[in-house]
Amino acid sequence: MNKELSTDFCKKNDDVIMKIISSYKKEQQVFRIGGKSLRLEAKDIKLIFGICCGSEQIRNQYQKKDLVPFKTRRNVTDRAIETRWMKEQIESLVGEEDEEDVADVVRIVCMLLFVTVFFAGRGTTLKWTYVQFLEDIDNMQKYDWAQEIVDVLLKSIKHYDEGPKDVAGCVIALPVKSTNVY
């Protein structure tokens, strides 16, 4: 926006989400809302987003981009994969019939979901670690994506330093969970 917006305006500032994040009790690992204790679990993420996934844990460790086949195949030269680049790639691949190009569109759409919804943070880039788990499309569903989404969000909530607006992860799931008490 040509630097016409302040950074505070561009951050998460939905009052409901901020209140939910602030209600988290680290000791009990629950959100305390309306006198009830609510725990965000993988089953909630599966229900909210319709995610079908397996049980294999995603080991979120540092991954060198040079070891990820996607980087070489798509000739990624930037240090990180940005949403701008992802959108450009999808546009350039529309209409392609090559099987690997079609598979890369699927991977890139997943990456966009990761950056904008499931693992949203301050920036618009994706960790290379997640890209490696998208390489084998037929086996993507064996990983426990729902648990990874919960883990990233709760880890961020537990460690936010400057208030709830700095929490990263799938914060849009919080208002849905808070209205569905089990």
Per-residue pLDDT, averaged over 6-35, amounts to 79
Q: Is residue 96 part of a domain?
A: yes
What pLDDT is attached to residue 16?
A: 85
* Residue 92 belongs to domain spanning: 59-142
Q: Which amino acid is at 139?
A: N
In a domain, 28, yes or no: no
Cα–Cα distance measured from residue 36 to residue 49, given in angstroms and rounded to the nearest whole number: 24
Is 160 domain-assigned?
no
Does some domain include residue 97? yes
The predicted structure's pLDDT at residue 104:
96
**Mind listing the pLDDT tens digit for each residue in 84-116?**
999 999 999 989 899 999 999 999 999 999 999
Residue with tokens 């993507």: 140
pLDDT above 90 (res 44):
yes
The answer to the question of residue 130 being in a domain is yes
0.75 exceeded by the pTM? yes
Place of tokens 């089990």: 182
d(CA 140, CA 133): 6
The total of structural domains in the chain comes to 1
Q: Using one digit for the tens of pLDDT, what is the confidence trace for 46-59?
A: 999 999 999 999 98
- 108 falls within a domain: yes
Q: What percent of the chain has pLDDT over 70?
A: 87
Residue 40, in any domain of the structure? no
Is a pLDDT exceeding 50 seen at residue 1? no
